[in-house]
Structure 1
Amino acid sequence: MQVLLTNDDGIEETGLQALHRALSSVADVTVVAPADDQSAVGRSMSSRVAVDEHELGYAIHGTPADCVVAGLSSLVPETDVVVSGCNRGANLGQYVLGRSGTISAAVEAAFFGVPAIAVSMYIPTGEVDYRTFDPGYDEYAEAMRVAEYLVDRALDRGVFEEADYLNVNVPVADGEPCEMEVTTPSTVYDMGAKRRDGHITLVDRIWGRMAEGETTDPVGTDRRAILERRVSVSPLTAAHTARQHDALDALAVEF
């Protein structure tokens, strides 16, 4: 099996190198990843990017979406599955799906018709400062175990006959393996903004609640699963599905 491995944190990030180590036991892995940090760029795309050879594959001076297009169209066209991650920080809830560079790489692959798996690790913000926390291979051990398991089995078991990509979130490893739960992205949304001294500060209040171990997310959602220390796997589709309905049809007729 040929795996194209990418991320949004940059090619030197430990999380990517941890997945490279894990996946190399079950597949041929070529890294096509951003040369530097491209977190939260969504599906931003360039028209021309520089590419450097790297000991793991290729470093692209562009976004995660750039990496996938360059990889699947030019550098690794024989790819069987794209893996994105492991992201340092969780990607939970519907509202983050379009923001995340990690997930956007998986979505870009899906439009090529190539199965994809986005892998992110939840950092318990009530215990450490996620801005300075620098996890090593030990902390990524559960992410490595889960990624290897899914890459080794999901294609042959027909998982991608129903899903375009998987959004996977895992807890930080603590020596005990976690159960896996198939989830849906939470719809709970609590962004806010505060204006002061000529500036507006945007605040995601959900992270504060998660730091306290609190959640209003229902059973079966990604955020509840990760807070209760289970691996969350959300099977998702990439297409923006149109829903035709009478109200808009009437407006179109009246125009």
Structure 2
Amino acid sequence: MDVLLTNDDGIEETGLRALYEALSSVADVTAIAPAEDQSAVGRSMSSRVAVDEHALGYAIHGTPADCVVAGIEVLATDVDLVVSGCNRGANLGQYVLGRSGTISAAVEAAFFGVPAVAVSMYIPTGEVDYTTFDPGFEEYAEAMRVARHIAENALEEGVFEEADYLNVNVPVADDEPCEMEITTPSTVYDMGADRSEGHITLVDRIWRRMAEGEVIDPEGTDRRAIMERRVSVSPLTASHTPYRHDALDRLAAGY
């Protein structure tokens, strides 16, 4: 199996190297990832990017979506699976799906008809300082195990006959392996803004709640699974399915 491995944190990020090692035991892996950090760029795309050869594959001076397009079209044209990650930080909830560069790489692959998996690791912000926490391979051990298991089994099991891509979130590894739960992205949304001295600060209050151990998401959602130390796997589709209804027909008729 040929795997294209990418991320949004940059090709030198430990999480990408951890998945490269894990996936290399079951597949031929080519890393095609941003040369620098491209977190939270969504599906932003460039018209022209520079490319450098790298020990793991290629470093692209562009976004995660750039990496997938360049990879599938030019650099690794026979791809069976795209894996994006492992992101240093979780990607949980419906509202992050269009925001995350990690997930956006998987979405871009899905539009090519290539199965994809986005893998992110939740960092318990109530226990460590996210800005300084630098996880090593040992912290990514659960993510490595999950990525290898999915790459080795998902295609054969027919997972991608129903789903275009999987959004996977894993806890930081400890002595006991986690269980896996199939989830849906949480609909809980708590963005806020504070204005002070000519500036507005945007705040995602969800992280504060999680740091305090507050679980406000119902059973079966990605965030609850992570907060209860289970691996969350959300099967998703890339297309925004249109829904036609009577009110829209009346709107059009009255134009």
Q: Paired residue for 1:173?
A: 173
Task: Using the TM superposition, give the Cα deviation of residue 250 of structure 1 relative to its aligned residue in structure 2, in angstroms.
Answer: 1.1
SS of the counterpart of 1:142?
Answer: helix
**Separation in structure 1 between the aligned mates of residue 44 and residue 117 of structure 2, nearest angstrom:** 19
Q: Paired residue for 1:186?
A: 186
Q: Paired residue for 2:237?
A: 237
Task: Using the TM superposition, give the Cα deviation of residue 77 of structure 1 relative to its aligned residue in structure 2, in angstroms.
Answer: 1.1
2:96 aligned with 1:121, yes or no?
A: no
Q: Paired residue for 2:254?
A: 254
Task: Using the TM superposition, give the Cα deviation of residue 248 of structure 1 relative to its aligned residue in structure 2, in angstroms.
Answer: 1.1
**Separation in structure 2 between the aligned mates of residue 50 and residue 167 of structure 1, nearest angstrom:** 29
Structure 2's unaligned 5+ residue stretches are none
Number of aligned residue pairs: give it: 255
SS of the counterpart of 2:155?
Answer: coil
2:36 aligned with 1:47, yes or no?
A: no
**Separation in structure 1 between the aligned mates of residue 215 and residue 190 of structure 2, nearest angstrom:** 12
**Separation in structure 2 between the aligned mates of residue 119 and residue 175 of structure 1, nearest angstrom:** 20
**Separation in structure 2 between the aligned mates of residue 207 and residue 254 of structure 1, nearest angstrom:** 45
Task: Using the TM superposition, give the Cα deviation of residue 215 of structure 1 relative to its aligned residue in structure 2, in angstroms.
Answer: 1.3
**Separation in structure 2 between the aligned mates of residue 196 and residue 211 of structure 1, nearest angstrom:** 25
Q: Under a length normalisation based on structure 1, what TM-score does the superposition of the two structures give? A: 0.99
Q: Under a length normalisation based on structure 2, what TM-score does the superposition of the two structures give? A: 0.99
SS of the counterpart of 2:157?
Answer: coil
AA paired with 2:115? P
Q: Paired residue for 2:69?
A: 69
2:8 aligned with 1:4, yes or no?
A: no
AA paired with 1:151? A
Instruction: Give deviations 1:104-155, integer Å, cap 9, x for gaps.
Output: 0000000000000000000000000111100000000000000000000000
**Separation in structure 2 between the aligned mates of residue 221 and residue 138 of structure 1, nearest angstrom:** 27
Q: Paired residue for 1:60?
A: 60
Q: Paired residue for 1:82?
A: 82
Q: Paired residue for 2:228?
A: 228
SS of the counterpart of 2:176?
Answer: coil
Q: Paired residue for 2:201?
A: 201
Instruction: Give deviations 1:190-220, integer Å, cap 9, x for gaps.
Output: 0000101000011111101101111110000
Q: Paired residue for 1:149?
A: 149
SS of the counterpart of 2:72?
Answer: helix
Structure 1's unaligned 5+ residue stretches are none
Task: Using the TM superposition, give the Cα deviation of residue 53 of structure 1 relative to its aligned residue in structure 2, in angstroms.
Answer: 0.4
Task: Using the TM superposition, give the Cα deviation of residue 235 of structure 1 relative to its aligned residue in structure 2, in angstroms.
Answer: 0.3
**Separation in structure 2 between the aligned mates of residue 138 and residue 247 of structure 1, nearest angstrom:** 54
AA paired with 2:2? Q
**Separation in structure 2 between the aligned mates of residue 236 and residue 248 of structure 1, nearest angstrom:** 26
Q: How does 1:135-146 map to 2 (within 5 A)?
A: 135-146=135-146
Instruction: Give deviations 1:33-68, integer Å, cap 9, x for gaps.
Output: 000000000000000000000010000000000000
Instruction: Give deviations 1:151-208, integer Å, cap 9, x for gaps.
Output: 0000010000000000000000012100000000000000000101000011111101
**Separation in structure 2 between the aligned mates of residue 175 and residue 38 of structure 1, nearest angstrom:** 32
**Separation in structure 1 between the aligned mates of residue 133 and residue 210 of structure 2, nearest angstrom:** 17
**RMSD of aligned Cα (Å):** 0.4
Task: Using the TM superposition, give the Cα deviation of residue 251 of structure 1 relative to its aligned residue in structure 2, in angstroms.
Answer: 1.3
Q: Paired residue for 2:100?
A: 100
